[in-house]
Structure 1
């Protein structure tokens, strides 16, 4: 008897069931289970705080829309009702949304572990899912990451997670200075062998179990990775949290626990990106850094004029200035570079706004100065007020002549009285439950905000113990709150973190391979690398990066570099190295964000900054050293564009008389160039051939003239 023919109805049912089973899910954790954004998060969840005038969660959801996600579960703890209301009214709940979205209230959750256990109890996860924080900004092409994850799972059935990490220096501005992580990886497979969180009270070394070294002949200790908090997880992970109630923190508990367990036998991999942007707004320091990156279009296509909200109308103007419709600017006001201004905002006569974000329906008076600050919605700033490097939350008033000094946080509803000065790194709130115990009387509050003001000092000691040691008010000689200051200070680093960063050679990226005979890497073993050259490299790159980013005068940039050189007693080689590294960082940022092609990017950067080399290159030996630095730098860059960037850089040096032709020819015949990759030699050969023929033709013409 022939087999029974399957009818169309059965086929449709099977297809629908298969489609249901293969839906890609995402879990968004809206709560950080930290207090780093207090006092603002006393009134509003972190994921709804504005970042360049759009709620933080919009950046995460925009990424999920491009990542091919079908179902999104938004886990809410603190202020869950506000998040639920926001999502309900947002475009993501409309019929045309690229995914379905559901809020999951978990008010009793105190950690990521609690949230995952709640997810497991509700039985929401059916297959591999994307776990992400609600404060992530990224333009990663996720299809490649997901494909790599699935291929790994085929090869390794025990693989349960892929952590997406972004390659960046240990000193990068978007890398949180609070509890950075160190990843120990199998170099060949990118499997994570061990994870260590370097807390503020850690010993200045890491100890590697000798047994780990038996697992691979080639491991790397990576302190140059930004943890994006983007993870592809297997459906088993919520159950693993359920089985292990001591797992609270995703990294230091779960990842570390899985990797050190002899019983589970599970593996975790990493996917390292170096051609895309990905960072998490973890604290005030990264809030400032990521805001600047968005305004400067390093996050392209995620920029203010992409208008994440349907109601936004931002347009781009030269100098990274963005304005919405219905902005009123007095004729004599000065709106400088890297500034964003929202709808229905008025800026008065003589007011100067530079490198700042101003929200909607703000009234800015006459002769006001706003620099490097973030002014949210419905803020009134009266005449002659000064605000520098601070956050001023919605519905606040800064009265006439008041001064808000750098690092200050003015929370919702605060009024700073006429002529009052708010000191550095002060946090103000109107929530009386969090008054500073040392300043809890009405008289002291009046002294700060004035008799016509409203607000109290937020109690800094309320910051969670996970971020700071509550028994110690200082870290490495610095105030503990400095690590979470809006104003980044790269001197205020964890001693342990600096030690780990020193694993790298000063001129290479921050990684070092270990042989199978290695056991422990202690700070004492690394003392030779803690030298003035490394300090200079860090500070010089920061100085020049700031000069490029803020378009400083070239003479001032050169003076700062020379001052650093003399202060730290380093050679001009180190100055050239820092200059090339920084310039090429900017070139590749322009290329990788599709802002410019390679040639245009090299010309744009070098045409502006090549005169720096006239103060660093003095003879032919210096010229040859400069070419070698460029060659070494290109070997660390993405292969697709490295050779072109090298060729156009050498051409720029020649055209601008930085390097002589004889030196270029000598360098071209050097062993270093001969050992470079074929693409580099192929492109350089064409230009060198042109250069030599052009010189030959020129000589023949001169002979004919004679």
Structure 2
């Protein structure tokens, strides 16, 4: 694994901010990576650390990975001088223990794909191409996908038949044009070339033993992609080749900023990373169980009777939530005390945190051992670091960050230390209150403001952790144009003191299922992943496939209708795009003619509620028939069912569908007639 350079000196009970040990869905990031490696079949794992190697080593020594039952041997390599992956690989080359192909992975990766099949494909390519030295694992995703880093994965130019990478260009920096120069001669040698900027870099590479030596020979190589891959592919001397393996159905993402931390957390909670989900309990002392609405709780959680726990929430053991408090889309760690009438929405609360009565926290991070006092408010983007105390009635404005560390600045002769420190103290008090503890963190701070190199590293670490989430730059896919409107109006599942047993299971399922399908559409998920989550939800709530089809169609028709009413697409285009793309999902819900007829009826019912319903039904029916999703028998069965014509609304929506039904029946009659003539 590449080095992790996040640091600050341990004082008291403060835990060093080592990125790979930060909690994601209440599990240290490195655990996800090690769990993936355990399924990959590796025999030895080397964790290369620059800063805080002792902290990482102590953590690993106390973990299950150091037990005799561990599937691999694990070693921590201390590389204090390393400033990059390139430095780490040069140190590895100097040690000389790499003799076979190896897996290079960052310590903050969450993955669920079958590595063994990917590795076999890598070996097969090496057999055909003796110059092959690397396979980069990439994941297909839209430009606006939430787990795609803001900087993007860059542009990969691929030889389409072989997936060989012939050129790599990093994503352009902000305020730079997006032009790149390509060697026409290289492209002219290839029959089919694809230009891919719709890929997520998983930071997983299968490497041959040549790679560490190449880093040693090229001492200026620091980055794997920007320096090494680009350098190898543009070299006329080395003659080495690099391939890609693109994941289309599985999950893999790296946590490298607040944006991706938030995105990957939500993916794990929403089960897109299945089977890597909280209730898998990959750590030996975890006791998470799954409840309806993507709610996960450990044993020992105490919830007041009147508190509300909404969907997308994880709560660690020995945490207490008081009367009237509302928790939504939030991870809360262990041993936390949440007072009365507290509101926590879309936030991350780590271990041993105290949040007093009437506090309000929105889209924020609160680190270990912090205290948020009565009536305090954290607005979106706030970060409260380890051991900080936010005073009573104080408001942290949007994107304010507070740390326990105080800036130490060097002053020239004509500058006043006392005045500057007094001004800073006044700012700190105004930010966190007289009863608070901590100091305002400045994004503009540089190394001159810190006492040591460790503090400078802490500065960089914190900047990475508090990466501000900007608005997504949406692709031209029409469906994304209405994501915000839908999110504002969509109803969400909630529960009192966990999950209310008196709620109707089918209604709860419908709410959750519609939300799940909607999210899959807006974020352009693979239909197989969407089907997996729906099936998990179906089994957990014990409902039938009719309910699954009904909820799926409700999400489809809602999106189609909004695309039409907002003028994004015409009815025909919106309907055909939706149904043709998501037929693989529908095929997981339809197994016989009765199911096909029920599917059409579900579409009819939803269309009867929409102003353009008569057009949507006709185009949907035609698309499903043309793609063999529904048969003529199913169409006839639906049409002849009395329920189809049982109300004025249902009959009104059949205006244009009747013509489609006639065409289908006539086409089948003509086919039967031709078959009879041929037999004669």
The answer as to 2:83 corresponding to 1:113 is no
Task: Note if contact 2:7-2:52 (Cα within 8 Å) is conserved in structure 1.
Answer: no
The answer as to 2:484 corresponding to 1:488 is no
Aligned match of 2:424: 441
Q: Distance in 1 between matches of 2:121 and 2:438?
A: 52
Task: Note if contact 2:527-2:582 (Cα within 8 Å) is conserved in structure 1.
Answer: no
Aligned match of 2:441: 458
Task: Note if contact 2:87-2:222 (Cα within 8 Å) is conserved in structure 1.
Answer: yes
The answer as to 2:300 corresponding to 1:319 is no
Q: Paired residue for 2:95, among 122, 144, 150?
A: 122
Query: What secondary structure does 1:29 align onto?
Result: coil
Query: What secondary structure does 1:242 align onto?
Result: helix
Q: Distance in 2 between matches of 1:667 and 1:330?
A: 48
* Residue-by-residue CA offset, 1:505-550 (whole Å, 9 max, x unaligned): x45xxxxxxxxxxxxxxxxxxxxxxxxxx6xx43324554686695
Aligned match of 1:555: none
Task: Note if contact 1:634-1:643 (Cα within 8 Å) is conserved in structure 2.
Answer: no
The answer as to 2:272 corresponding to 1:291 is no
1:180, distance to aligned residue in structure 2 (A):
3.7
Query: What secondary structure does 1:226 align onto?
Result: strand
Which segment is superposed worse, 640-649 or 364-373? Answer: 640-649
How has the CA–CA distance of structure 1 residues 299 and 657 changed in structure 2, closer, same or farther, with 3 Å as cutoff? same
The answer as to 2:522 corresponding to 1:582 is yes
TM-score normalized by the length of structure 2: 0.76
How has the CA–CA distance of structure 1 residues 546 and 46 changed in structure 2, closer, same or farther, with 3 Å as cutoff? farther
After TM superposition, list the pairs within 5 Å mapping 1:172-187 onto structure 2: 172-178=145-151, 180-187=153-160
The answer as to 2:481 corresponding to 1:539 is yes
Aligned match of 1:93: 66
Q: List gaps (5 residues or longer) in structure 2.
A: 412-419, 448-461, 495-517, 539-544, 643-680
Aligned match of 2:76: 103
Aligned match of 2:247: 273
After TM superposition, list the pairs within 5 Å mapping 1:404-553 onto structure 2: 404-433=378-407, 441-462=424-445, 488-491=469-472, 506-507=476-477, 537-541=479-483, 543-544=485-486
| Count of matched residue positions in the alignment of Structure 1 and Structure 2 | 578
1:168, distance to aligned residue in structure 2 (A):
0.7
How has the CA–CA distance of structure 1 residues 128 and 587 changed in structure 2, closer, same or farther, with 3 Å as cutoff? closer
Q: Distance in 2 between matches of 1:183 and 1:405?
A: 39
The answer as to 2:314 corresponding to 1:340 is yes
1:586, distance to aligned residue in structure 2 (A):
7.9
How has the CA–CA distance of structure 1 residues 673 and 610 changed in structure 2, closer, same or farther, with 3 Å as cutoff? closer
How has the CA–CA distance of structure 1 residues 33 and 393 changed in structure 2, closer, same or farther, with 3 Å as cutoff? closer
Q: Distance in 1 between matches of 2:561 and 2:152?
A: 41
How has the CA–CA distance of structure 1 residues 546 and 211 changed in structure 2, closer, same or farther, with 3 Å as cutoff? farther
1:215, distance to aligned residue in structure 2 (A):
2.9
Query: What secondary structure does 2:185 align onto?
Result: helix
Aligned match of 1:688: 632
Task: Note if contact 1:436-1:459 (Cα within 8 Å) is conserved in structure 2.
Answer: no
How has the CA–CA distance of structure 1 residues 275 and 82 changed in structure 2, closer, same or farther, with 3 Å as cutoff? same
Aligned match of 1:44: 17
Task: Note if contact 1:389-1:486 (Cα within 8 Å) is conserved in structure 2.
Answer: no
Aligned match of 1:468: none
Task: Note if contact 1:436-1:457 (Cα within 8 Å) is conserved in structure 2.
Answer: no
1:196, distance to aligned residue in structure 2 (A):
1.1
Q: Distance in 2 between matches of 1:156 and 1:642?
A: 43
Q: Distance in 2 between matches of 1:269 and 1:314?
A: 40
Q: Distance in 2 between matches of 1:446 and 1:359?
A: 28
Aligned match of 2:551: 604
Aligned match of 2:168: 195
How has the CA–CA distance of structure 1 residues 246 and 355 changed in structure 2, closer, same or farther, with 3 Å as cutoff? same
How has the CA–CA distance of structure 1 residues 227 and 612 changed in structure 2, closer, same or farther, with 3 Å as cutoff? closer
Task: Note if contact 2:327-2:344 (Cα within 8 Å) is conserved in structure 1.
Answer: yes
TM-score normalized by the length of structure 1: 0.73
How has the CA–CA distance of structure 1 residues 318 and 89 changed in structure 2, closer, same or farther, with 3 Å as cutoff? same
The answer as to 2:17 corresponding to 1:67 is no
How has the CA–CA distance of structure 1 residues 548 and 187 changed in structure 2, closer, same or farther, with 3 Å as cutoff? farther
1:91, distance to aligned residue in structure 2 (A):
0.2
Aligned match of 1:77: 50
* Residue-by-residue CA offset, 1:19-62 (whole Å, 9 max, x unaligned): xxxxxxxxx22416899xxxx99932100011111110000001
Q: Distance in 2 between matches of 1:546 and 1:278?
A: 29
How has the CA–CA distance of structure 1 residues 380 and 661 changed in structure 2, closer, same or farther, with 3 Å as cutoff? closer
Q: Distance in 2 between matches of 1:76 and 1:583?
A: 35
Q: Paired residue for 1:229, among 190, 197, 203?
A: 203
After TM superposition, list the pairs within 5 Å mapping 1:132-147 onto structure 2: 132-147=105-120
1:167, distance to aligned residue in structure 2 (A):
0.7
Task: Note if contact 1:358-1:377 (Cα within 8 Å) is conserved in structure 2.
Answer: yes
How has the CA–CA distance of structure 1 residues 483 and 326 changed in structure 2, closer, same or farther, with 3 Å as cutoff? closer
How has the CA–CA distance of structure 1 residues 436 and 693 changed in structure 2, closer, same or farther, with 3 Å as cutoff? farther
Q: Distance in 2 between matches of 1:165 and 1:395?
A: 38
Q: List gaps (5 residues or longer) in structure 1.
A: 1-27, 465-480, 508-533, 553-577, 675-679, 699-706
* Residue-by-residue CA offset, 1:128-148 (whole Å, 9 max, x unaligned): 111100000111111221111
How has the CA–CA distance of structure 1 residues 154 and 599 changed in structure 2, closer, same or farther, with 3 Å as cutoff? farther
Q: Paired residue for 1:351, among 325, 337, 359?
A: 325
Aligned match of 1:399: 373
1:652, distance to aligned residue in structure 2 (A):
3.6
Aligned-pair Cα RMSD in Å: 3.8
* Residue-by-residue CA offset, 1:603-626 (whole Å, 9 max, x unaligned): 4322456456566679xx966545
After TM superposition, list the pairs within 5 Å mapping 1:667-682 onto structure 2: 680-681=627-628
Task: Note if contact 1:401-1:419 (Cα within 8 Å) is conserved in structure 2.
Answer: yes
Q: Distance in 2 between matches of 1:376 and 1:580?
A: 28
The answer as to 2:362 corresponding to 1:383 is no
Aligned match of 2:345: 371
Query: What secondary structure does 1:461 align onto?
Result: coil
How has the CA–CA distance of structure 1 residues 400 and 694 changed in structure 2, closer, same or farther, with 3 Å as cutoff? closer
Aligned match of 1:307: 281
How has the CA–CA distance of structure 1 residues 167 and 599 changed in structure 2, closer, same or farther, with 3 Å as cutoff? farther
How has the CA–CA distance of structure 1 residues 201 and 317 changed in structure 2, closer, same or farther, with 3 Å as cutoff? same
After TM superposition, list the pairs within 5 Å mapping 1:617-636 onto structure 2: 624-630=572-578, 632-634=580-582
Task: Note if contact 1:406-1:487 (Cα within 8 Å) is conserved in structure 2.
Answer: no
Q: Distance in 1 between matches of 2:590 and 2:406?
A: 61
